[in-house]
Structure 1
Amino acid sequence: MPPFPFAGELAALAASLFFSIGPTFFTLSGRLIGSAVLNRSRLLLATSVLILIHWLLYGQPLPFGSDLEHWGWFALSGVIGLTLGDAALFQAFVQIGPRLSMLVYSLAPIVTAVLGWLWLGDRLSPPQALGIGVTLLGVLWVVSERQESSGTQIEPRAYASGLFLALLGAIGQAIGLVTARQGFEGDMAVLSGQVLRMGTAAVAIWLFAILRGQVGNTFNTLRANPLGVRFMMLAVAFGPVMGVWTSLASVKYAANIGVASTLQSLPPIFLIAIGYFFFKERVSWRAMVGTLVALTGVALLFIL
């Protein structure tokens, strides 16, 4: 039971806001230490912070009282959503850029809604389907801006593989949310689920780094770039800690997982305001129209 009406939906909006702030610092950090080092380091740091918080709140670093089924679902969610899905999305950023990657990644709520229907039995009412459709239309309108007029030429094979990687990222996000929902069956605390999910992802990515002999290079890079580490710490606070925490709260408490996923897809909208107020970026009419359309869709999800 949600602690108050629309708790899951409001948590999803909070997750969107946190996921809008985090990428700014991730970008600054990634330019200094590289995306691969950043991905490994952010999961390790986030897991350490979450374990400490869990220890302070619940008296133990991990939810040892939970059964193996819960651990299994969150482990699967972490590996698919955070280790594999995010790795695919980050590589798509490199190959085709963030705008087109986010355009494809915006399909995640649709995939989530379909999986929720097939796997969990979640059914969308006509008003919910309308709200999701309107919201995604606004997001897609915003993130596709200027793509047609971009002068950057991308090699065809890199372009095709980049699109495929972004799609894999969207699928990974969808499967990660649905499997996390399964893990919350029963009385699992949101923070406990987050610790298991993030911790498993960290273990998986560091095992891969050990097998490839990349551990030494990772720590050498971090020592040589203290500014990049500081940016990463800020990014982790907003993204993997607060962002994922509220994201999982929305998965647990929202009436429908497709609605929760849609409300989490709003970072491109929030980033317009962040860019305008903090970076003095010009806001185009297309961005404003897309924002209004997306916010209309969000309102429909709460009102209808």
Structure 2
Amino acid sequence: MLSKFYGEIFAILTSVCWAISALSFEIAGKKIGSLPMNLIRMSLALIFISIFSVFYNGNIIPQGANSEQLLYLVASGLVGFVIGDMLLFHSFVLIGARLGTLMMTMVAPISAIISWFALKEKMSLWQIFAMLVTIAGIFIVIYSRNKNHKKIEAKTKKASILFLGFLLAFGGAIGQAGGLVLSKKGVLNYDAFSASHIRIITGFLGYILIISFTRLWKKVFAGLKNTSALKTVSFGSFLGPFLGMSFSLIAVKNTSTGIAATLTSLAPVIIIIPAIFINKEKVSFLEILGAFIAVIGVALFFI
């Protein structure tokens, strides 16, 4: 029974990893800045997966990918990790992380549309319905958090800045979706952890170029001296770029791209639990309602 939903289960595990790592990166990003933090997290993720690879298949660098698989996985790392994340993080600067995250609910439907044209993947009407219910729940959760924040931003920011911010966030969503579809092409008939290794190497090299271009190496070295932030990033890097991304490739390898994208987007819902019990945050009725709807949507995939 469980083997039938192998991809879906790993997609949900991905969301759990990303929810916990998101809390770590939020804390670290405030201390050392987002771009330096991203290079450090990719560096640590590369160390983790390289060590894992030595024990897993005896190689410190990924082996066995043919030229086509390598092309798709490198392109996936560039489009998703580097371009997608860079656009998203820049949108955070213009419109804030809350509003930027709201646009990321579009990753699942965009992934489904791209995979329909590029991979000839088809979803049943029931799966489309389950996807829409889940996305609606996630949207409500994020929207309820943004409600008051949006009113403040609308008064303090020009319409042109807001428009550019949303445009960048939407571009980030397209990048994430495109990266997921490309990784689907690359991971077919190839080991998911080795595929993840290639993507991480690509992301690492991409961020080195960005940091060099923006001349932020001083901030990176300063971040490395911040032991508190480094511990937090290390924990987040293990769960996010290493485990989470590897799980997401297992998911996309074993189920349709649209379903994988939907179930890996549950982090804003899952993060409510530590927000209540660890951070002692007050959760609104809308957040609880959205989480409930999202859980129903997830359950529909397994019927």
Partner of 1:70: 69
Query: Secondary structure of 1:279's match?
Result: coil
AA in 2 matched with 1:165: L
Residues 1-304 of structure 1 aligned to structure 2 (within 5 Å): 4-150=3-149, 151-152=152-153, 153-186=156-189, 188-215=190-217, 217-254=218-255, 256-303=256-303
Matches of 1:192 and 1:224, distance apart in 2: 31
2:89 maps to a residue whose letter is F
Matched residue count: 299
Residue 158 of structure 1, CA deviation: 2.1
**Distance (whole Å) between structure 2 residues aligned to residue 146 and residue 227 of structure 1:** 28
Q: So what's the TM-score if we normalise by structure 2? A: 0.94
Cα offset, 1:235, TM superposition: 1.1
Say which SS state the counterpart of residue 65 (structure 2) adopts: coil
Q: Distance in 2 between matches of 1:219 and 1:300?
A: 44
Deviations 1:260-298 (A, max 9, x none): 110011111111112011111112111111111111111
Query: What amino acid maps onto 1:40 in structure 2?
Result: L
* 1:285 maps to amino acid: F
Does the 8 Å CA contact 2:144/2:284 hold for their aligned counterparts? no
Secondary structure (helix, strand or coil) at the match of 1:149 reads helix
Decide whether aligned partners of structure 1 residues 41 and 146 sit closer, same or farther in structure 2, where only a CA change above 3 A counts.
closer
Give me the whole-angstrom Cα distance separating, in 1, the residues matched to 2:220 and 2:275: 32
Moved over 4 A (4+): none
Shift of 1:63: 2.7
Partners of 2:140 and 2:286 within 8 A in 1 = yes
1:149: Cα distance to partner? 3.0
CA contact (8 A) 2:142 2:268 kept: yes
2:138 counterpart letter in structure 1: V
Question: Per residue, is there more helix in 1 or in 2?
Answer: 2
In structure 2, C-alpha distance between the alignment counterparts of 1:223 and 1:109, rounded to whole Å: 35
In structure 1, the gaps of 5 or more residues are none
- What do the CA deviations read for 1:152-203 (whole angstroms, capped 9, x no partner)? 42232221111111111111110011000000222x1110000001111111
Q: What TM-score, normalized by structure 1, do the two folds share?
A: 0.94
Separation in structure 2 between the aligned mates of residue 222 and residue 100 of structure 1, nearest angstrom: 27
